[in-house]
Amino acid sequence: MTRLFASIALAAFAFLAGAGAASAMKIEKIVSPSGIEAWLVREQATPLVALNYAFHGGSSQDSADKAGIANLTAGLLDEGAGDLDSKAFHERLESRAIEMSFRVGRDYFYGSLRTLNENRDEAFDLLRLALTKPRFDAGAVERVRGQELASLRRETTNPNNLASRRWWETAFPDHPYGRETKGTLETVPRIGADDLRDYVRRVFARNELTISIVGDIDAKKAGEMIDRAFGALPAKNDLKPVPAASPRGLGRRIVINVDVPQAVVNFGGNGMERKDPDFMAAYIVNHILGGGSFSSRLYREVREKRGLAYGVSDSLVWFRSAAVVLGGTATRADRTADALGIIEQETRRMAEEGPTAEEMAAAKSFLKGSYALSLDTSSKIAAQLTQIQIDNLGIDYIDRRGSLIDAVTIEDARRAAKRLYGGGMLVTVAGRPKGLESSGTAE
């Protein structure tokens, strides 16, 4: 009961701290005594600290024959560290309402920590143990591996997973981005504790480490906490290079036969790098075409006018070595061809004509006004600050973002639309779509 009340209090504190910080955002660049840089937002109204961080080196560091190493590592870091086995480690977290999580992207290994100030020292000590002395006990490894394999088995008949996997495999063949982050039924059983330790050794280092802290903590104490958690890590990582790549297979349609009532469609092509001068224009254009949910062209044409799907959307996805625009929908098997035809038609129309002035005005207003929703909790603020650092947008980006959106002209948008949607798409369909077959040729 005590732990339950502590968790409820922590959630309430998180919301209030985030709301306060978002309304009066002041970001400080700090340097710990050992020289580790971080961004800090002080919020003294509530006794809470939220930490978000990222190491360069995600699933792209997995070897092809053992894909899933990074993901399995993320699932095991809180399953025992130092002299604490899995049960003892989790009891420490739960008894003090400390929230610790890890996740993996293609380029980065992400982590977060949230704690009340009264448990701050222990929380950062537990994080240090997880990052520097993970146990990878045989029992824990086999248990978490079993969970991952069970999930992968379910995905072998899931049309969403089948369409997504085939899209990435086809778009990035023989490239780390083409491999599923979670690995496969063939690769995950090959992963041993030594592989997990090697990943930690190569990836968890102080260089290319991005840190954000939000909460009731000053710069001096924040620096001390940073060193407490990260100071014992190696100075430099040891990463394998990831070559630059562009999506392949554009113009192809691949149909994967699976006996399900609906068909799942994935579609996408060349995207826009975050550092590209046309990125903000592309961001607005994408919102208008498919990223704006209920207001987008695709939603209006596919869902509202024709009732072909419950939802349809697309989004910009960017990595360190590639960028794509990727979308999807699910529809009845006998209407899949109709839905895909509308998507392709609207995509071509956007590439040829671009958005209207009215669409531009509405999109700009929405994108500026809705941004506060990504800053309404301390954890969201910390995550946003980490991503802003990763994208190298500058410590004043939140203040400048509105003016960057306003500066995009209709000519900028039309140019970006042609670049985004004028090169064709790779389409993968999982299901039994009537009248729709694979087309195009493999490269």
> For residue 431, which of 169, 267, 309, 255 has the smallest C-alpha distance?
255
293-301: Cβ within 8 A, 24+ apart: 295/362, 295/363, 295/366, 297/346, 297/350, 298/327, 298/329, 298/342, 298/343, 298/346, 301/342, 301/346
Q: Per-residue pLDDT averaged across 167-186, rounded? A: 97
| 105 and 171 share one domain | yes
Structural domain contains residue 427: yes
| 259 and 178 share one domain | no
Structural domain contains residue 415: yes
Dmax (CA) for the chain in angstroms is 66
* Residue 332, beta-bridge partner list: 262
Q: Per-residue pLDDT averaged across 420-425, rounded? A: 96
| 198 and 263 share one domain | no
Q: Does pLDDT of 433 surpass 80? A: yes
> For residue 259, which of 156, 368, 112 has the smallest C-alpha distance?
156
| 290 and 201 share one domain | no
Q: Per-residue pLDDT averaged across 8-19, rounded? A: 42
| 260 and 379 share one domain | yes
| H/E stretch holding 116 | strand 108-116
Which is higher by pLDDT, 226 or 442? Answer: 226
pLDDT for residue 23:
47
pLDDT for residue 217:
96
Structural domain contains residue 425: yes
Dist. CA 426–CA 164, nearest whole Å: 11
pLDDT for residue 44:
86
Dist. CA 263–CA 434, nearest whole Å: 10
Specify whether the CB–CB gap between 129 and 121 falls below 8 A. no
Per-residue model confidence as pLDDT tens digits over 115-130: 999 999 999 999 999 9
Confidence of residue 36 (pLDDT cuts 50, 70, 90): very high
pLDDT for residue 46:
84
Confidence of residue 10 (pLDDT cuts 50, 70, 90): very low
pLDDT for residue 443:
56
Q: Per-residue pLDDT averaged across 44-61, rounded? A: 95
| 195 and 292 share one domain | no
Confidence of residue 442 (pLDDT cuts 50, 70, 90): low
Q: What average pLDDT is seen over the chain?
A: 93
pLDDT for residue 302:
96
| 261 and 391 share one domain | yes
Domain boundary among 230, 261, 280: 230
- Compute the residue count for the chain: 443
Any idea which of 17-21, 103-107, 157-161 has the lowest mean pLDDT? 17-21
pLDDT for residue 11:
43
Domain that holds residue 263: 253-431
pLDDT for residue 22:
45
- Which CATH number characterizes residue 115's domain? 3.30.830.10
pLDDT for residue 45:
84
Q: Per-residue pLDDT averaged across 79-107, rounded? A: 97
Structural domain contains residue 118: yes
Dist. CA 381–CA 98, nearest whole Å: 18
Per-residue model confidence as pLDDT tens digits over 350-386: 999 999 999 999 999 999 999 999 999 999 999 999 9
Confidence of residue 24 (pLDDT cuts 50, 70, 90): low
Q: Per-residue pLDDT averaged across 268-273, rounded? A: 97
| 94 and 209 share one domain | yes
Structural domain contains residue 159: yes
Q: How many domains does the chain have?
A: 2
pLDDT for residue 105:
97
Q: Does pLDDT of 14 surpass 60? A: no
| 115 and 178 share one domain | yes
Domain boundary among 230, 264, 284: 230
State the amino acid at position 87 in one-letter form.
Answer: K
State the amino acid at position 422 in one-letter form.
Answer: G
Per-residue model confidence as pLDDT tens digits over 305-352: 999 999 999 999 999 999 999 999 999 999 999 999 999 999 999 999
Burial of 394 (0-12, 13-18, 19+ CB in 10 A): exposed
pLDDT for residue 12:
44
Structural domain contains residue 438: no
pLDDT for residue 440:
87
| 375 and 267 share one domain | yes
| 419 and 287 share one domain | yes
Structural domain contains residue 211: yes
Which is higher by pLDDT, 44 or 336? Answer: 336
